[in-house]
Amino acid sequence: MKNLPGGLVIIPLVIAVLLATFVPQVYQIGGYVTALFYDGNACMMGFFLIVCGASINVRQVGMPLYKGVVMTGIKFLLGVLLGLIVGWVCGPTGFLGITPFVMIAAITNSNSSLYISLSSQFGNATDTGAVSILALNDGPFFTLVALGATGLAAIPFKSLVATIVPILIGFIWGNLDEGFKKACATAQPIVTFFMTISIGAKTDVKTILTAGASGIVLGLISAATAVIFFFVINLLLPKKERHPRAIWTADIIRQALDNCSDGKLYIAINLSFACSLRMGEITGLTWDCVHISDTDIAKDDAHIIVNKELARVDQRAIDALGEKDILFMFPRIVKAKSTTRLVLKRPKTETSVRKVWLPKTLAYILREWQEKQNNLKEIMGDEYADYNLVLALETGRPCEDRVIGNQFDRLKKSANLPDVVFHSLRHSSTTYKLKLNHGDIKATQGDTGHAQASMVTEVYAHILDEERKINAQKFEVAFYANPDMRHVEQELNPPKPEPTPDLNLQALLAQLQENPELARQLKALLHAG
């Protein structure tokens, strides 16, 4: 069912219809079978409304709330508008068996289970959060309101109240008790399954064939409204102007590292700038993917393998999609009370899985960091939860992005550094590498893990002023230096630099042995470089 979009509804519905067609007597055995599978539609709908109410998060504000209200409102208005148009043009009988009543019922309703599955896979956190409001559309409440408002049906007030009561029960109970909310999220697929069976039990293939043309037309109309829905949503959602992302130069990053006193942040900055890693890739990096042995370094083959990322995932998304993309689920520190889980998951795209080579200095920095971490493990003993993470808290637990972000904000203030987000270091990395490799986009793309090379050029179009000056100087020498081009004699050849005297390694080693302070300073310079 998980592999088929809407499979939780489609599969039990098909099974129930086939049974109703060929062996209808199976539903009339009596007892619990008949009560559950044939007569249980109203009861299951009541449970379903409670589940929907429990999913409405009163604390959900901002963009998720806005998206939920906009989507629910547009869907309601589209259903009402189409129903009125059908009634006005075709009368109460409609066309092809599609009455205004049916039109409103079909368009105004929705399936939040399918929505959360798709939004969790293809959308962002605000899209998934919008289900808290959209879930109101799963039940008949808005449909009844629409039918009553258009005058197509006389909806008794008690029917509206009877629809609202289960939603209110779920809403109040779910927001007071996180355990109940979690239980409802788990139960939603089960309730949907049995409710769908009870619907299909009263339908057979003959009925479907008779109304086949109507069903196809209604499906096409629903698809068309989805297209309209998409464009209207995009018009109403707030637009953010895209501004070039501010980045740090290499000199500023050196300054940041010189002033960084937090070890985790120091490692994170180096990995982001030198390896072009995303935050989740940094916090999800494990030591088995770090290859920094003496042999690796000697062969210039020190590297890391990026094949996972640390993420906090909504439990409902896990329940809906399963754990196919989750590699490891960290145990909760405190049981219950949380609707999210901290996991190691596969990257979103295949191109994000990659091998990134390390500069030697960074390889030695990581080895030193690993040694410190091993010493901490010995001190902590059994109190250290070892998940083999490169970046971990003092207890061994995962270091989430907010921890690094808070340290990064403090570093910016204390060192008086330009205000940028941590992700901009990845942008700085891409820009710096493009300069070093003279615009080799494919090589840079291999480090960044972008799916398309155009993303490198479009997103990271940062050219520093100093580099633009150098470009002008190079253009002058390469193009305008020809006397035939300008009819002006000008000396462009700079004086040749004096030859650098040969370095006496033995003398240098002797000086370093006699002067430990000089050796320490040299080591610090190499470390900073």
Same domain as 164, residue 270 = no
Examine the fold and report which residue of 213, 236, 259 is the final residue of a domain before the chain moves on. Answer: 236
Strands across the sheet containing 309-314: 309-314, 340-345, 326-329
Q: Does any domain span residue 493?
A: no
Distance from C-alpha of 48 to C-alpha of 357, rounded to nearest angstrom:
53
Which residues, in sequence order, are bridge partners of residue 27? none
Same domain as 444, residue 316 = yes
Same domain as 345, residue 271 = yes
Same domain as 270, residue 231 = no
Which residues, in sequence order, are bridge partners of residue 286? 389
Distance from C-alpha of 72 to C-alpha of 134, rounded to nearest angstrom:
6
CB 92 within 8 A of CB 153: no
Examine the fold and report which residue of 408, 438, 464 is the final residue of a domain before the chain moves on. Answer: 464
Q: Does any domain span residue 477?
A: no
Same domain as 283, residue 140 = no
Same domain as 222, residue 317 = no
Q: Does any domain span residue 273?
A: yes
Burial of 350 (0-12, 13-18, 19+ CB in 10 A): exposed
Give the pLDDT score at 4.
58
Same domain as 258, residue 126 = no
Count of C-beta atoms within a 10 Å radius of residue 246: 13
Count of C-beta atoms within a 10 Å radius of residue 397: 16
Same domain as 214, residue 287 = no
DSSP state of 515: -
Examine the fold and report which residue of 408, 433, 464 is the final residue of a domain before the chain moves on. Answer: 464
Same domain as 222, residue 262 = no
Give the pLDDT score at 314.
80
| DSSP secondary structure, 433-498, as one string | HHHHTTS-HHHHHHHHT-SSHHHHHHHT----HHHHHHHHHHHIIIIIT-HHHHS------PPPPP
Distance from C-alpha of 221 to C-alpha of 482, rounded to nearest angstrom:
69
Token pair of 28, please?
């009339």
CB 14 within 8 A of CB 24: no
Which residues, in sequence order, are bridge partners of residue 314? 340
Q: Does any domain span residue 476?
A: no
Nearest 10 degrees: Cα torsion 362, 363, 365, 367: 170
User: Is this structure's pTM higher than 0.85?
Assistant: no
Distance from C-alpha of 381 to C-alpha of 349, rounded to nearest angstrom:
38
Structural domain that includes position 37: 7-236
Same domain as 170, residue 231 = yes
pLDDT tens digit string along 389-411? 999 999 999 999 999 999 999 99
How many domains does the chain divide into? 2
Rg (CA), the chain: 32
Q: Does any domain span residue 207?
A: yes
Q: Does any domain span residue 184?
A: yes
Q: Does any domain span residue 479?
A: no
Which residues, in sequence order, are bridge partners of residue 355? 305
Same domain as 415, residue 437 = yes
CA distance to 15, 146, 226, 296, 297, per residue, from 219 (Å): 21, 20, 11, 60, 62
Tens digits of pLDDT across the chain (529 residues) = 555 555 666 788 788 888 888 888 888 888 888 888 888 777 887 887 788 777 776 665 566 677 777 887 888 888 788 878 887 888 777 776 677 777 777 777 776 656 665 665 556 556 655 666 666 666 666 676 766 766 666 666 777 677 778 888 988 888 888 788 888 877 877 887 887 888 788 877 776 666 656 666 776 777 777 777 677 777 776 655 445 557 788 889 999 999 999 999 999 999 998 888 989 999 999 999 999 999 999 988 899 999 999 998 887 777 766 667 889 999 887 665 667 889 999 887 777 888 888 989 999 999 999 999 999 999 888 889 999 999 999 999 999 999 999 999 999 999 999 999 998 888 887 777 777 766 566 656 666 665 455 555 554 444 444 444 555 555 556 654 555 544 444 444 444 455 544 445 555 556 656 666 656 665 665 555 4
Q: Which of 367, 377, 378, 323 is nearest to 345 (CA)?
A: 323
Give the pLDDT score at 486.
43
Same domain as 269, residue 180 = no
Token pair of 228, please?
């309209």
Give the pLDDT score at 464.
42
Which residues, in sequence order, are bridge partners of residue 311? 343
Strands across the sheet containing 354-357: 290-291, 303-306, 354-357
Distance from C-alpha of 188 to C-alpha of 47, rounded to nearest angstrom:
9
Distance from C-alpha of 502 to C-alpha of 505, rounded to nearest angstrom:
9
The enclosing domain of 378 has a CATH number of: 1.10.443.10
Burial of 224 (0-12, 13-18, 19+ CB in 10 A): exposed
Q: Does any domain span residue 397?
A: yes
Token pair of 378, please?
């010995």
